[in-house]
Amino acid sequence: MHMRRILREILMRGGIRRIIEAADGAEAIGQFMMLVPDIVILEWDMPMLSGEDFIRLARSSPETSRRDTPIILTLSRPSKTVINMAIKLGIEDILAKPLSPKVLSTRMQAAVIRAREAQRLRVKNMRHAAINGGAVATRA
């Protein structure tokens, strides 16, 4: 609860007004499935449903808009194992606590821009595939 309060204050000072919070992972995935957030800031160690489980569920959503929502992971105790797992699962970025307001803002902006670029490329590829019988271009 304390970290959520700090994070909310950082976000509000940065001009973000619509912030949805969740007390645990189960509430977080419920909120995520009801809404289509622009970005998710997620803690790896959550009660009820872990950050790992949240990411798996989010990335397996049948809806592209949810599946591609950028996720920034916050870690109290970063470890190579957790970082590698999170990257494999498809998170957008990782931040170690304590969070710097400037770094958080910069990373959030970059994550949203990358997600929008990926969505535009996917739409372009789908159009190209429809016109050319299935050939798809990808960006590494």
The model's confidence at residue 134, banded by pLDDT at 50, 70 and 90, is: low
pLDDT over 60 (residue 96) = yes
**Calpha distance 97→112 (Å, rounded):** 21
Residue 46 near residue 26 (C-beta atoms within 8 A): no
Instruction: Provide the residue count of the chain.
Output: 140
What are phi and psi for residue 41, nearest 5 degrees? -110, 120
User: Tokens 């009660």, residue?
Assistant: 47
User: What is the rounded average pLDDT of the residues 77-95?
Assistant: 91
In the chain, the domains with their CATH numbers are: 2-112 (3.40.50.2300)
Of the listed ranges 61-70, 110-119, 131-140, the one predicted with least confidence: 131-140
Task: Report the chain's C-alpha Rg in angstroms.
Answer: 16
User: What is the rounded average pLDDT of the residues 79-88?
Assistant: 92
40 forms beta bridges with 71
pLDDT tens digits for range 28-52: 999 998 887 888 999 998 889 999 9
Question: Could you tell me which residue, 108 or 125, shows the higher pLDDT?
Answer: 108
